[in-house]
Amino acid sequence: MTCTKFPIRITIALLAAALLFGALFAAFCAPVAARATVFADGFSVKGAAAYLVDSESGTVMYAKNENDRRPIASMVKIMTALLTFEAVERGELSLSENVFVSENASGMGGSQVFLDADTEHPASQLIKAVIVCSANDACVALAERIAGSVEGFVADMNARASELGMADTHFANCTGLPAADGFSTARDVSVMFRELIKHPEYFEYSRIWLEDYVHPDGRTTSMTNTNKLVRFYNGCDGGKTGFTAEAKFCLAATAERNGMRPVAVILGGESSKERFAAVSSMLDHAFGAYERRTVVRADDILDRTLEVRAGKKRTLALTVRDDVTLFVARGADKNFELRLDLPDKIKAPVKAGDVVGKGSVIVDGNAAGQFDVVAAESVGKANLFDLLRPGR
């Protein structure tokens, strides 16, 4: 058997190539590892992308590949629900009105409540089916009613996403069924979900665990909430799941405890169990590591007054309408200041509770929250005797 020896120059060249390949491989992998952000406390969760944020202050508590564009499956319906409630707010849709179900809506595949074509259903029932059991047929019926067509509604979805600053999102449909040009990010999902939960009506439906959908002919379809955390996680009262083979297992959810409402998002989980565990872990982290601290209570008298023109009193005592709170890491010693934006004077009469200005909580030079400054007392309009009274 003959053994062939490589010339020395070839061996050196191969070694150099191997070293170069190793360096390039390390350089390629480094940014990927860096994007999987683990905060200083070492907290992390499984999943392709994740995001944990305080719904009120916008404080980010955890982020992992939060700007990676991915399919989000039925979490697209977060925007569908948001546009529905906004249409109600504008008076363009009533939740009590009957909505026509077209052949197109009735024929939608995937999750559904099996709506019959050419029937009419209360809008409240349709949005309930969307939120509770992710019904595609109900989704399309609402889209066609609000915008005249699914295409028009999808255009509205993308326009609203742009208004909300969701720069890494594009909606291809209103259901989340697989589409090559449909994508979003963990961060963007949190943005639209935080906007959705500003509507109190949403929680009337999102808290439902099990309920029958009653059709016009009397038959029923059993609806079970796809977000199992509303039953199994303390304080969870809202969320939206998503699953397709491309998107894998996704979930956005929120819970409320002690005045805190974090929002947690997971994309690309390997199993349903993994997504629920990841979101539960993020919510636990939020409630365990952070707190909402009250810095001024409603009705506390501020150390500023406002001059009253032509009033029975010359000055007006001030307070805040609602408790002013600060979202901080638990136990953190945060220095803050209250910055008030008030007019030089106010004209009588003034009623207690009238909004007379705005205020901001400033932390490290940045606004960490805003609040209304209100009159702490009523001041009537001065009469002639008041104006002639000594000492005025």
| Catalytic residue (one of 111, 134, 280, 281) | 134
Is 360 one of the annotated active-site residues of the chain?
no
Rounded Cα distance between 180 and 164, Å, is 23
**DSSP labels for 33-89?**
HHHS---TT-----SSEEEEEETTT--EEEEESTT--B--GGGGHHHHHHHHHHHHH
CA distances from 44 to 150, 277, 291 (A): 39, 12, 19
Q: Identify whether 347 is a catalytic site residue.
A: no
- Determine how many CB atoms are found less than 10 A away from the CB of residue 152: 13
Q: Is 134 a catalytic residue?
A: yes
Rounded to 5°, the CA angle 52-358-364 comes to 50
Provide the CB-side half-sphere exposure for 263 (13 A, CA). 25
Tell me the C-alpha to C-alpha distance, in Å, between residue 86 and each of 82, 94, 174, 200, 205: 6, 11, 15, 12, 16
Q: From the candidates 74, 111, 280, 281, give the one annotated as an active-site residue.
A: 74
Write down the catalytic residue from 55, 57, 64, 77.
Answer: 77
* Active site amino acids: 74, 77, 134
